[in-house]
């Protein structure tokens, strides 16, 4: 009976294969194979050896540098090549690192298929650095090396508190969307304020942006617009604290109109009148609140108490109430007509 057995392993620079055969005539044979390919290393000009064939696969050279002048273009003597930076393709971290010139040479990449390629953020020496572009997608060709530069910059951050203005003052409010928009109108980042109103936008590349409260959310909640503001992140990384926004939560036309109904010689009389109004006009006054304000009548300068009704949704609602009161009780009611926003 003839039999054969083989095993292969892929090392960093060479693929090793070992096989053996046995024949029924009691003869044996074995073989050891070494497979490798070699070519010019585009990173340093030296010889590069790989375990996989390179003739039908693709290569890429990537340069990573600290972009000190912030122009996105490598300038020798100004910008600084970064050594020891790794790369990622999809969810995999590649073994190649940049050399002292900031160059990384990647071989045996799949050809004729889109490849996602980016700097491994964890391999940068400063956790607040980011690479630009964040990543590239290319379709490589055999024996046609691809070159890409990654400019590394410091990032900034913005924080603040979102407040909502009410009748009793401004209170921190959560679940408000805050957006950072670039000069093209693209939303770069969007965050939501926390329960205490605090928000944080971090890892912002240098540039000029617009910071705003998300306008569609304000429209859905029927709240007034909040003025956006211009924000600049410097090339050394700017941290902007206290970029607070105050949203006016008091609607000028909702549940805040107050109307003066009549004057009485005492608060007790005014309170009795209010109870009577709620009984006789339940649809008009049942959900309203009363207010009593000391006043004076010009003739004789006698002390009186003004009876006010609060929380009319619209000014016209307060005006209609006065029309009905005058029709029932006479022109001494709502005279003069005194309607204001509480």
pLDDT digits (tens, 9 = 90+) for 314-325: 888 888 899 999
The yes-or-no verdict on residue 240 having pLDDT over 90 is yes
Length of the chain in terms of residues written: 342
Q: What percent of the chain has pLDDT over 90?
A: 42
Pick the most confident of 19-23, 30-34, 239-243, 245-249: 239-243
Confidence of residue 35 (pLDDT cuts 50, 70, 90): low
Please check whether residue 278 is in contact with residue 321, taking contact to mean a CB–CB distance below 8 angstroms. no
Please check whether residue 216 is in contact with residue 272, taking contact to mean a CB–CB distance below 8 angstroms. no
Structure-token pair, residue 68: 């000190």
Q: Which of 337, 279, 335, 341 is nearest to 312 (CA)?
A: 341
DSSP-assigned letter for residue 333: T
Mean pLDDT over 104-132 rounds to 84
Count of CB atoms situated within 10 Å of the CB of 225? 12
Q: Token pair 């003004």 is at which residue?
A: 306
Please check whether residue 79 is in contact with residue 65, taking contact to mean a CB–CB distance below 8 angstroms. yes
Query: Average pLDDT, whole number, for the chain?
Result: 83
Distance, in Å, from the CA atom of 268 to the CA atom of 304, rounded to the nearest integer, reads: 11
pLDDT of residue 40: 56
Q: 25-34, 112-121, 213-222: lowest mean pLDDT where?
A: 25-34
Backbone φ, ψ for residue 328 (5° rounding)? -95, -40
pLDDT of residue 47: 57
Confidence of residue 248 (pLDDT cuts 50, 70, 90): confident
Domains and CATH numbers, the chain: 3-35 (no CATH), 42-154 (2.60.40.10), 156-248 (2.60.40.10), 257-341 (3.30.70)
Confidence of residue 220 (pLDDT cuts 50, 70, 90): confident
pLDDT of residue 252: 47
Distance, in Å, from the CA atom of 318 to the CA atom of 48, rounded to the nearest integer, reads: 87
The yes-or-no verdict on residue 100 having pLDDT over 70 is yes
pLDDT of residue 315: 81
pLDDT of residue 110: 67
Per-residue pLDDT reduced to its tens digit, 72-90? 899 999 999 999 999 888 7
Confidence of residue 201 (pLDDT cuts 50, 70, 90): very high
Q: 33-37, 208-212, 238-242, 259-263: lowest mean pLDDT where?
A: 33-37
pLDDT of residue 253: 45
pLDDT of residue 297: 57
Mean pLDDT over 156-172 rounds to 89
The yes-or-no verdict on residue 259 having pLDDT over 50 is yes
The helix (H) or strand (E) run that includes residue 285 is helix 282-285
The yes-or-no verdict on residue 313 having pLDDT over 70 is yes
Mean pLDDT over 158-171 rounds to 88
Q: What percent of the chain has pLDDT over 70?
A: 77
Confidence of residue 15 (pLDDT cuts 50, 70, 90): low
pLDDT of residue 176: 94
Number of H-type helices and E-type strands within the chain:
4, 27
Mean pLDDT over 287-313 rounds to 79
SS3 198: strand
The yes-or-no verdict on residue 25 having pLDDT over 90 is no
pLDDT of residue 182: 95
- More confident site: 158 or 170: 158
Pick the most confident of 36-50, 104-118, 166-180: 166-180
């Amino acid at each position: 009976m003839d039999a054969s057995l083989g095993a292969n392993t892929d090392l960093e620079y060479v693929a090793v294969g070992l096989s053996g055969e046995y024949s029924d005539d009691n003869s044996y044979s074995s073989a050891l194979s070494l497979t490798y390919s070699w070519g010019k290393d585009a990173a340093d000009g030296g010889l590069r050896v790989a375990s996989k064939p390179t003739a039908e696969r693709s290569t890429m050279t990537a340069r990573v540098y600290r972009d000190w002048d912030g122009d996105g273009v490598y300038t020798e003597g100004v910008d600084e090549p970064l050594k020891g930076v790794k790369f990622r393709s999809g969810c995999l971290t590649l073994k190649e690192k940049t050399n002292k010139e900031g160059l990384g040479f990647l071989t045996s990449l799949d050809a004729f298929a889109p490849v996602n390629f980016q700097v491994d953020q964890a391999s940068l020496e400063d956790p607040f650095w980011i690479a630009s572009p964040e990543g590239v997608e290319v379709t490589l060709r055999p024996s046609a090396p691809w070159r890409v530069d990654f400019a590394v910059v410091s990032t900034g951050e913005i924080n603040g508190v979102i407040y909502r203005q009410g009748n009793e003052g401004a209170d921190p409010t959560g679940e408000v969307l805050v957006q950072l928009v670039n000069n093209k109108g693209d939303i770069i980042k969007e965050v939501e304020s926390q329960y205490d109103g605090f928000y944080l936008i971090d890892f912002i590349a240098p540039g000029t942006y617009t910071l705003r409260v998300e306008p569609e959310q304000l429209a859905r909640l029927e709240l007034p617009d909040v003025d956006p503001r211009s924000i600049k992140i410097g090339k050394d990384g700017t941290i902007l604290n206290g970029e607070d926004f105050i949203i006016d939560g008091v609607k000028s036309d909702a549940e805040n109109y107050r109307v003066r109904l009549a004057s009485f010689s005492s608060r007790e009389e005014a309170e009795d009148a209010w109870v009577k109004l709620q009984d006789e006009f339940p649809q008009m006054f049942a959900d309203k609140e009363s207010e009593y304000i000391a006043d004076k009548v010009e003739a004789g300068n006698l002390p009186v108490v003004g009876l006010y009704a609060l929380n009319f949704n619209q000014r016209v609602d307060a005006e209609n109430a006065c029309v009905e009161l005058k029709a029932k009780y006479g022109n001494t009611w709502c005279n003069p007509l005194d309607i204001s926003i509480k």
